[in-house]
Amino acid sequence: MTTMTAKKQNRSTLATTLLILGAAYCLLPVLWVLIASSKSAGELFSTFTLAPSTHLWDNIVDLNNYRDGLYWRWMANTALYAGVGAAVSTLISAMAGFALAKFEFRGKSFVFNVILAGVLVPGVILAIPQYLLLAKVGMTNTYWAVLLPSFISPYGIYLARIFAAAAVPTEILEASRIDGAGDWRTFARVVLPMMRTGLVTVFLFQFVAVWNNFMLPYIMLGDDKLYPITVGLNGLLNQGANQPAMYTSVVTGALLSIIPLIALFLALQRYWQVDLAAGGVKA
Amino acid sequence: MKTKYAPLMAALTAAALFTGTACSSSDSAEEVNPDEKVALTYWTWTPNMDKVVAAWNSANPNIQITVNKQDGGDPAVTKLLTAIKAGSGAPDIMQAEYQKIPTLVSSDAIADIAGEVGSLKDKFPEGSWNGVTLGSEAVYGVPQDSGPLMFFYRSDVFEKNGLAAPKTWDDYAAAAEKIHKADAKQYIGTFSATDAGLFTGLAQQAGASWWGVNGDAWSVNINDAATQKVASYWGGLVEKGVVDNKPMYTPEWNAALNDGTQVGWVSAVWAPGVLEGSAKDTKGKWKAAPMPQWDAASPATGNWGGSATSVTTQTKHKAQAAKFIAWLNSDPAALKLLATDANIYPAANDATSVLTTPPAFFSDQADYYTIAAEAAKATKPFTYGPNVNVAYSAFNDAFGKAAESKKAAAFTESLATIQQTTVDDLKNTGFNVAG
Amino acid sequence: MEKGSAMSLIIDKPAAPARQVPAKAAKRPAKRSGTPYAFLAPAMILFTLFLAAPIFYAGYLSLRKVQVSGLGLGAKSRTEVWAGLSNYARSLTDPDFLPSVLRVGAYGLIVVPTMLGLALLMALLLDAARTRESISKFARISIFLPYAVPAVVASLLWGFLYLPRVSPITDLFEAVGITAPNLLSSDLTLWAVANIAIWGGTGFNMIVIYTALRAVPTSLYESARIDGASDFTIAWRIKIPIVMPSLVMTFVFSLIATLQVFAEPMTLRPLANTISTTWTPLMKVYRDAFTRNDIYAAAATSVIIALATFIVSFGFLKLVGRRAFNQED
């Protein structure tokens, strides 16, 4: 019995060690950015990489002073693109997912397959034709140029269909109909609340996708007051040969830009239970 | 939104929407009343340009300029060309590097303002002016700044090794060897495969001109004797290991400037700004010198960087835009602002009168702008073609491999690849190519 | 809630609610048949405008080319003409194209198994009850954290960590007296790029697998344990088969992401000599479109990549015989 406990103990230690190693690997660059953003421009390239310094606040002030606080505008823009884009996209995905999961209609499998095919298309390929088409209606270099394409997420629709199929019992829909509620009323009052958990996941997915998207705003926007954070930071880094790259500002900016996402993740942690396969295993 | 919206219907409606609006957009340039109030947008990546523009805006209430800061020359040109293709979305005024002007002209992106801009020819050095006329009667912009090559070095390290600023490329090679031998961590410089612009300048100094116009055909001479000489020279130094092979403008390069392991830099007149931003703490240790020469008896140099200001073909206010860019790049008050606020080296002849004190990072070197002016005068003629970007990206790939291999032979062989790629691209697009 | 349906699979009950829908819905009165279309309309309109139209437009562009006359400097010397399939021919015969495809293949062989292997391992460790709660929570959040870091930013951070002169990794090697490898040299670049993808993607896949594991009733393990099965056996014989559907899906999505690798090498490119402008097929698209100003060639390569992605991912699904992508039976 004692040997067995010892063995268990060992295994537990091994498991814990492995998990901590994994966590350390994932935290290393984050730790680095934290340390690096505390260094002055000179120290960043001369002192030992993992030795912290005391200039974090100076760096934040520098970043804040860059072209009258443009950085904060980028943060606000990012929040707008990701927040509004993801919210609208979630609603549209919920409606489409609900229709695909709970109704039978002509062309259903065609629509679903087309949407799935949409999941596979890389953004880089879409960016140029999207630009050319939006330019024809004069919408490039506006907030809409980034927002509108963010409203549609084939992946979000795919997930919403899974969630609707799993979370909304048909009986309740029938009951609601018998009570005389219209389809829209049923959707708003019954379906949306039932899909809530899943929809938060869809929201988070799309939020991260928009937040991470570089190519679309990079192509669409000519005015740097409209930039999201990724494009803005990239600009600080690549200013052309006759301008020095602003490494300390980029590093500090990168650190600050991660914080809101981490906060969002921690706050919505319990929703991160993604069951990708649920839709695919019923047969 | 009630019912009956089959997906197919939706698709058709949407498609109709697109084609409908597509036809309605037009970009006809109307004649304008000079007293009319106009608002123009200006794409530039020069820092603090908004301050220079503010001076214009307060004096010219009828022509108000808004600066849209860009992320450097390549992304800005990319966006401009895409906007031109799309038929809308371009600014009125655009900063254009000299090497991009043939591309922009051939894509019908920037307008001929010969009729609007008046006689400015005499206010600029011949080389810069040729850059905006492409040798024709047309005027595709007004030169803003130029980037004559100069050599920058850590005087403390050179002194310690008993070296003076190299007068010739032989001196440079000897200094490179001596410095690296004395301290294996130190290099006189690096060969950067990511900076085609610098290599072009070096080839220009040696007498190359990569493109040319023969009647109604383009010629391409990237693999000529002068460029071969430059490539084999740098390949030799890299193969020997006395010059580093890492790209510039990386964190590593910044570190090398900061910790004194890169003690020299072949760069251009704008280098002080970059050095100050990248290695502030080394202030006072750097000195500027004229470029090392192939033939000390006839000094020559090339350009790295430098740009003009152009009016795009999508503007509806060509006359006003031309008036502004003429002021911006030739009016003494504007030149002063460009030099002090925007930290550039104006191309106009009058610039010498406003460039009296050396840049802050070289405050000890009173003759800084004298050296620069000599360099600017010694700039060799060079013609850019309509597909510079193709040649430059071929340069990145071919010389990236060569630098990684550290073989001099690979350097010279790379030129044939770049030449081939550039010619093929021209032919494929339908340009007449001689030879 | 979504856990429910996974559970229904595990205890081998047919997923009743979902299955009954079609039958009942079909019986509904005809006058209401417009409803699903109305619900779908916003999605379909946006899909048409921002996905379908651009794709068809790209297809159109891939058949066009610009024809310049003479020196090409006159204002109207550029015309767009039909190109037939010449853009495709040029794309496929470009000497840089095949190496970039093979490189992405090798990259996928590194990234997908490593990332999913690590994700599965971490999920199983998290699920093992005896790991202390606080450590488990800390590890879960830490490993998931990189998902919050945009690829452009992640590549920038790792770039700093790779460059020998500024990297703590180099210092570490030197401290123990070994010459540090240059992670951006030609032998290791592929691994350096792969590492960024693995770092960014492991956490997300771990959560997916972990979610599936948590849905399994513990009673299932208890009986196995009473029968004397070791942890390893339980993981191998019970847990992994249970999360297989999740693994298949994460595999497909990872594969798609892998074929589209772009942001990481693009960000690292200026830092090293070893990443060319056509290092991956999407980088070639970018180069053609934005550096060479040839959107027609870029469109042709795009179409080829899109088709290849379809074939590979649907081919894989066909191969494993899952209907994950298709709701119709």
Distance (Å, whole) CA B287 – CA B284: 8
- Region B289-305: mean pLDDT is 95
Q: What is the mean pLDDT of chain B?
A: 89
- On the question of pLDDT at A50 being above 90, the answer is no
Give A277's pLDDT tier (boundaries 50, 70, 90). Answer: low
- On the question of pLDDT at B18 being above 60, the answer is no
Q: What is the CATH number of the domain that holds A250?
A: 1.10.3720.10
Q: Has residue B406 been placed in a domain?
A: yes
Query: pLDDT by residue (tens digit) across C207-254?
Result: 889 888 887 777 887 888 888 888 788 888 888 888 888 888 889 889
3 state SS of C113: helix
Query: pLDDT by residue (tens digit) across A149-166?
Result: 999 999 899 889 988 988
Give B25's pLDDT tier (boundaries 50, 70, 90). Answer: very low
B23 touching chain C per CB within 8 A: no
Q: Has residue A115 been placed in a domain?
A: yes
With beta carbons less than 8 A apart as the criterion, state whether B211 and B422 touch.
Answer: no
- Region B7-21: mean pLDDT is 39
Do B323 and B354 sit in the same domain of this protein? yes
Give A142's pLDDT tier (boundaries 50, 70, 90). Answer: very high
Distance (Å, whole) CA B382 – CA B197: 13
User: Nearest CA of chain A to the CA of C9: how many Å?
Assistant: 7
Task: List the single residue in A with minimal CA-CA distance to B51.
Answer: A67
Q: Has residue B8 been placed in a domain?
A: no
Distance (Å, whole) CA C76 – CA C64: 18
Write the burial class of residue C165 (CB in 10 Å: 0-12 exposed, 13-18 middle, 19+ buried): middle
**Residues B321-342: b if buried by 16+ CB within 10 A, e if exposed:** bbbbbbbbbbbeebbbbbbebb
CB pairs under 8 A between A and B: 120
Query: For strand B217-220 and strand B38-44, is the pairing parallel, antiparallel, or unpaired?
Result: unpaired
Do B283 and B417 sit in the same domain of this protein? yes
- Which of A62-71, B28-37, C116-125 comes out lowest in average pLDDT? B28-37
Do B174 and B270 sit in the same domain of this protein? yes
Best residue of C71, C162, C274 to probe chain B, by most B CBs closer than 10 Å: C71
Using a CB-CB cut-off of 8 Å, the residues of chain A touching C329 are: 283
Distance (Å, whole) CA C139 – CA C198: 16
C234 vs B235, more confident: B235
Q: Which residue has the tokens 């072949």?
A: B266
**Percentage of residues in chain B with pLDDT exceeding 90?**
75
Task: List the single residue in B with minimal CA-CA distance to A251.
Answer: B251
Do B349 and B322 sit in the same domain of this protein? yes
Chain-chain contact of B5 with C34 (C-beta, under 8 angstroms): yes
Give A51's pLDDT tier (boundaries 50, 70, 90). Answer: confident
Interface of A with B (CB under 8 A): 41-42, 44-46, 67, 107, 111, 128, 131-133, 135-138, 140-141, 218-219, 222-224, 231, 234-235, 238-247
Query: Concatenated DSSP letters for B285-344?
Result: SEEEEPPPBSSTTS--B-EEEEEEEEEBTT-S-HHHHHHHHHHHHH-HHHHHHHHHTS--
- On the question of pLDDT at B90 being above 90, the answer is yes
With beta carbons less than 8 A apart as the criterion, state whether A89 and A151 touch.
Answer: yes
pLDDT at B244: 95
Do B252 and B388 sit in the same domain of this protein? yes
Which CATH number describes the domain made up of C84-320?
Answer: 1.10.3720.10
Structural domain tally of chain A? 1
User: 1-40 in C: which are within 8 Å (CB) of B?
Assistant: 34-35, 37-38, 40
pLDDT at B33: 65
- Which of A34-38, B29-33, B93-97, B295-299 comes out lowest in average pLDDT? B29-33
Best residue of C165, C278, C285, C296 to probe chain B, by most B CBs closer than 10 Å: C165
B70, B280, B344 ranked by CB distance to A41: nearest: B280
Structural domain tally of chain B? 2
C41, C75, C90 ranked by CB distance to B5: nearest: C41
- On the question of pLDDT at C130 being above 60, the answer is no
Q: What is the mean pLDDT of chain C?
A: 81
B113 vs A246, more confident: B113
Query: pLDDT by residue (tens digit) across B199-232?
Result: 999 999 999 999 998 888 999 999 999 999 999 9
Amino acid letter, B409 = A
Q: What is the mean pLDDT of chain A?
A: 86
**Percentage of residues in chain C with pLDDT exceeding 70?**
85
User: 202-261 in A: which are within 8 Å (CB) of C?
Assistant: 208, 211-212, 214-215, 229-230, 233-234, 237-238, 250, 254, 257-258, 261
Chain-chain contact of C72 with B425 (C-beta, under 8 angstroms): no
- Region C60-81: mean pLDDT is 85
Do B209 and B85 sit in the same domain of this protein? no
User: Nearest CA of chain B to the CA of C176: how many Å?
Assistant: 20
- Region C165-181: mean pLDDT is 80
Do B281 and B419 sit in the same domain of this protein? yes
Q: Has residue B14 been placed in a domain?
A: no
Chains with 3+ CB–CB pairs under 8 A to A are B, C
B11 touching chain C per CB within 8 A: yes
Chain-chain contact of A126 with C326 (C-beta, under 8 angstroms): no
With beta carbons less than 8 A apart as the criterion, state whether B335 and B354 touch.
Answer: yes
Chains with 3+ CB–CB pairs under 8 A to B are A, C
Give A274's pLDDT tier (boundaries 50, 70, 90). Answer: low
Angle among Cα B302, B306, B307 to the nearest 5 degrees reads 140
pLDDT at B143: 96
Say what the pTM is.
0.88
CB pairs under 8 A between B and C: 143
Q: What is the CATH number of the domain that holds B153?
A: 3.40.190.10
Do B386 and B346 sit in the same domain of this protein? no
pLDDT at A13: 82
Q: Has residue B219 been placed in a domain?
A: yes
Q: Has residue A82 been placed in a domain?
A: yes
**Percentage of residues in chain C with pLDDT exceeding 90?**
35
Distance (Å, whole) CA A225 – CA A77: 9
Chain-chain contact of C156 with A23 (C-beta, under 8 angstroms): no
Distance (Å, whole) CA C268 – CA C159: 6
Give B34's pLDDT tier (boundaries 50, 70, 90). Answer: low
pLDDT at C11: 27
Do B51 and B190 sit in the same domain of this protein? no
- Region B309-336: mean pLDDT is 95
pLDDT at C168: 80
B397 touching chain C per CB within 8 A: yes
Q: Domain of residue B42: give its range.
A: 34-147+305-361
Query: pLDDT by residue (tens digit) across A165-203?
Result: 888 888 888 888 888 888 888 899 889 999 888 898 899
pLDDT at A5: 63
Do B261 and B351 sit in the same domain of this protein? no
Do B333 and B383 sit in the same domain of this protein? no
- Which of A211-220, B164-173, C311-320 comes out lowest in average pLDDT? C311-320
Give B277's pLDDT tier (boundaries 50, 70, 90). Answer: confident
Using a CB-CB cut-off of 8 Å, the residues of chain C touching B401 are: 273, 276
User: 61-120 in C: which are within 8 Å (CB) of A?
Assistant: 61, 118
User: Nearest CA of chain C to the CA of A68: how many Å?
Assistant: 23
Chain-chain contact of A26 with C262 (C-beta, under 8 angstroms): no
Do B266 and B124 sit in the same domain of this protein? no
Q: Domain of residue A257: give its range.
A: 61-280
The closest of B250, B286, C154 to A247, measured between CA atoms, is B250
User: Nearest CA of chain A to the CA of C100: how many Å?
Assistant: 16
Q: Has residue A234 been placed in a domain?
A: yes
C57, C148, C157 ranked by CB distance to A33: nearest: C157
- Region C18-28: mean pLDDT is 41
Q: Has residue B230 been placed in a domain?
A: yes
Task: List the single residue in C with minimal CA-CA distance to A267.
Answer: C141
